[in-house]
Structure 1
Amino acid sequence: MRGQPLDLGTLVGVQLFGLLDQLFIVYANDWADQETDRRNRTPTVFSGGSRVLVEGRLSPRAIGTAALVCAGSLLAVSVGLAVARGAPLLVPLAVLALGLLWAYSYPPLRLSYRGGGEALQAVGVAGVLPLYGYLAQGGALGSFPWALVALLLPTHLACSIATALPDEPSDRESGKLTLPARIGGERASWGILALNGLTLALAPFGMASVGLSAGAWWLVPALAALAVPLVRPAPPGSKRVQVRVAAAITATLAAVALPLLLLAAS
């Protein structure tokens, strides 16, 4: 796709898809997790749900309706893009995006409670969303840069684990098997560093797959990832745990931004 013009209408449609998907995830997950969120005494700006149900600002019915509206709108946008761009795979990708949240929060799988919820998040953000945008802009499935996805998957998984750090007590109480709830926040923080280290190790190969080289700017996500276990102790409810989560998010955002900026400049 390099060297081809960017279709602005398609860009708007893809961004609308991403916004609707995010809103669907927030609303549907809030509805599914309302009992766990009520037990959460350590919420942060990164975790613990939106709190609108816990604080009584919206009803479960309103949240459920909003989730359904977003899901329907997401599918409608995808059908429109599929027809306009001649990209029929956008529709099953949209269904997959909805299915990932269902598998995450709802029976029979409910993997956020059984273990594996973080992996679903990583697949959605690092896999489904980039592939959706690529196909919408006219890319062929066979030429999709899978090595770049492989590069970004570990850091997205690390970020998903990090956002569960503040919720460790209520998740453990509710039987929600996030990695921090299973092994503790301190051990999980070293796992976050290891996953980001894997992304750094894959960077030369992933960048080369799109004609780029890994340069010194990769020190930014490296240093941010290193801060995750070094900011300690960071128990849930403390300011340090928020710094720890922010550092993990920074590492992931930097890893995503680097290839994007270099591709835009090339």
Structure 2
Amino acid sequence: MTAGKGTLRDWLQASRLPSQSYIALPLLLGQLVALRAQGGDIPYGLLLCVQLFGVFDQLFIVYANDWADQETDRRNQTATPFSGGSRVLVEGCISPRALGGAALFCAAAMLAVSVGLAVVQGAPGLVPLAFAALGLLWAYSYPPVRLSYRGGGELLQMVGVAGVLPLYGYLAQGGDLGRFPWPLTVALLPTHLACAIATALPDEPSDRDSHKRTVPVRLGGEQAVWIIAALNGLSLALAPWGLASLGMTAGWALAVPAAATLAVLGLRPAPPGSLLIQARVAACITATLAVVAIPLLGLTAR
């Protein structure tokens, strides 16, 4: 089969839309933090524009990563809904040229939305943050840095999702940089690092064959799981401090990410290619999203 422009179904597969949650929630969190200090109702037009940036950002990430990792993905026999790429290039559904062009379009759209928001909202910091988001993906997947292969790619994911995105939403809403709740960011960083490590667990065999130095490749899957649990535990320990920076208390809501973290440890043995490893990764994603959702729900309730 000759790859071409692809059908709508192929592009939906390539877009991996469930991963939008990784982008949408941190952006919304930053925006609501700023709105809390300002008072008033949620500006839905601005909310839509910020989320539009997030849509283009997520699509750029998945398209550009698929293009960069296509050779490794062809070796991957243990792909899951969470890992291993969208498979559209491997299956010949879409041509590399078409997917690469779509990635470039999304990158340009990210910048265009950011410039527009910067002008309308008087927030020039949004433009360098957009370039930072693009730069993190470039450093993750593309030469000469290509940290996902050299080791350290998980750190780039952590910085982007837990650092750049909440700050983008905050500044877009007109938040004062000097009043940004940095303790909350510090509390979110470890669990996002844990999530980045977890999504690499199913790909360990093909990553090892491709000399991709992820944490599971370097340490082994089970050792990586203990690091994931420790990082989630650190976020849980820091959560009261982070929430206090918003004038909130932790409460029993932390039981959700705690239970999900225990599930990560309990779901074993979970070799790549098994259903248990999918459940293990899902549990880790649940833990991370729950830690983000706790302050979000607190902000929307006020």
For Structure 1 versus Structure 2, the TM-score category normalised by the shorter chain is over 0.9
Which residue of structure 1 aligns with residue 46 of structure 2? 10
Question: What runs of 5+ residues in structure 1 fail to find an aligned partner?
Answer: none
Structure 1 letter corresponding to 2:260: A
Offset of 1:249 from its aligned partner?
A: 0.4
Which residue of structure 2 aligns with residue 126 of structure 1? 162
> Matches of 1:202 and 1:120 in 2, distance apart?
21
> Matches of 1:247 and 1:185 in 2, distance apart?
15
Structure 1 letter corresponding to 2:195: C
Deviations for 1:156-198, whole angstroms, at most 9, x for unmatched residues? Answer: 1000000000000000110001100111111111111000000
**Could you say which structure has the greater relative contact order, defined with CA pairs below 8 angstroms and 6 or more residues apart?**
2
- Which residues in structure 2 correspond to 1:89-238 (within 5 Å)? 89-238=125-274
SS in 2 for 1:165: coil
> Matches of 2:105 and 2:200 in 1, distance apart?
27
1:54 matched to 2:90? The reply is yes
Which residue of structure 1 aligns with residue 112 of structure 2? 76
> Matches of 1:104 and 1:115 in 2, distance apart?
9
Q: TM-score, structure 2 length as denominator?
A: 0.87
> Matches of 1:134 and 1:183 in 2, distance apart?
37
Structure 2 letter corresponding to 1:22: Q
> Matches of 1:4 and 1:171 in 2, distance apart?
49
Structure 2 letter corresponding to 1:205: W
TM-align CA RMSD: 0.7
Deviations for 1:39-65, whole angstroms, at most 9, x for unmatched residues? Answer: 000000000000000000001100110
Offset of 1:229 from its aligned partner?
A: 1.7
Which residue of structure 1 aligns with residue 18 of structure 2? none
Offset of 1:6 from its aligned partner?
A: 2.3
Question: What runs of 5+ residues in structure 2 fail to find an aligned partner?
Answer: 1-33
SS in 2 for 1:166: coil
Q: TM-score, structure 1 length as denominator?
A: 0.99
- Runs of 4+ more than 6 Å apart: none
8 A Cα contact 1:6 1:137, kept in partner: no
Structure 1 letter corresponding to 2:90: V
Q: 223-232 or 234-243: which moved more?
A: 223-232
Offset of 1:28 from its aligned partner?
A: 0.5
> Matches of 2:262 and 2:55 in 1, distance apart?
31
Offset of 1:4 from its aligned partner?
A: 3.7
> Matches of 2:80 and 2:173 in 1, distance apart?
37
> Matches of 2:42 and 2:180 in 1, distance apart?
16
Structure 2 letter corresponding to 1:121: Q
Structure 2 letter corresponding to 1:261: L
